[in-house]
Amino acid sequence: MILHYKEQGNGQTIVLLHGMAGSLRYWKPFIPYIGKGYRVIAIDLLGYGHSQMPKDVVYDYATHVKSILQTLEHIGISQPFILVGHSMGALIALRMASMYPNQVKKAVLIAMPIYRDETSAHDAITGGSKLKELAYYGLTSRLLCNAWCHYLRPISSRLAPKYLPHLHQDAARDSVLHTWQSYAQSLHNVIELQNVRHDIIATSVPITLVYGDRDLPHDLNKIEQLTRGKHVRICIFSGTHQIIHEHPVEVASIVMSEV
């Protein structure tokens, strides 16, 4: 399962993982802020962007991590790399860092969702809205996804920048490049069935959590208490879930820092 990727530069490797319904082009406006001396590899996660969208797999942590590692092996990455993830990509990056500490130099986890359990995740995602419930879950969501991301993809891709104005146009267009299976299973198996507390305690590599002050998870204080004394730091800026694009200089500085 070799994933679609783009790379540029030479030097210390930085691997970038996008979030739900995203693609590697999410990082397009951010990459120029990373200085010289780095080899930047942006990856389309399995089932997203221009990567494979197999029907015979389960989209869970194990499958996502395995496909990323196979891709990095294919590229020829043999030295520990800096791992950067946004949102769902941050959850996958954290699991990778906890499982393969010898391969990850450090992890920068941006806007990572933190939920106590599956129920709290579901409630936070829908916000108690029946409309969001229909849009994100169940048969109605499946019908919408199949229509928007398959049958109407040429049209929806062109319209996407209009209803996703906070994203770079290329990233917005790619927001329809997934399937119902990759979306629904990743939502459930990665986001809803996450175990951030376990993963972050089990991780021995340096970790930086980056958030916008209008996007702070409720359990962030508990994570801070659990990780006190470990190699974990938390950086909060004025901003939203798209903090990467709101503070690109500061986030890039964190990615390139030695700690």
H or E stretch including 209? Answer: strand 207-212
pLDDT digits (tens, 9 = 90+) for 50-78: 999 999 999 999 999 999 999 999 999 98
Which residue ranges in the chain fall short of pLDDT 70?
Answer: 259
Quote the CA–CA distance of 257 and 78 in Å, as a whole number. 21
Quote the CA–CA distance of 170 and 167 in Å, as a whole number. 8
Domain CATH for 204: 3.40.50.1820
Residue with tokens 């829908």: 126
Q: For residue 259, what pLDDT is reported?
A: 67
Burial of 182-220, coded b for 16+ CB within 10 Å and e otherwise, reads bbbbbbbbbbbebbbeebbeebebbbbbbbbeebebebe
Q: For residue 2, what pLDDT is reported?
A: 96
Q: For residue 239, what pLDDT is reported?
A: 97
The bridge status of strand 104-110 relative to strand 81-86 is parallel
Q: What is the mean pLDDT of the chain?
A: 95
- Give the domain extent around 208: 5-256
At residue 2, φ and ψ (nearest 5 deg) are -85, 120
Per the structure, the count of domains in the chain is 1
Q: For residue 226, what pLDDT is reported?
A: 80
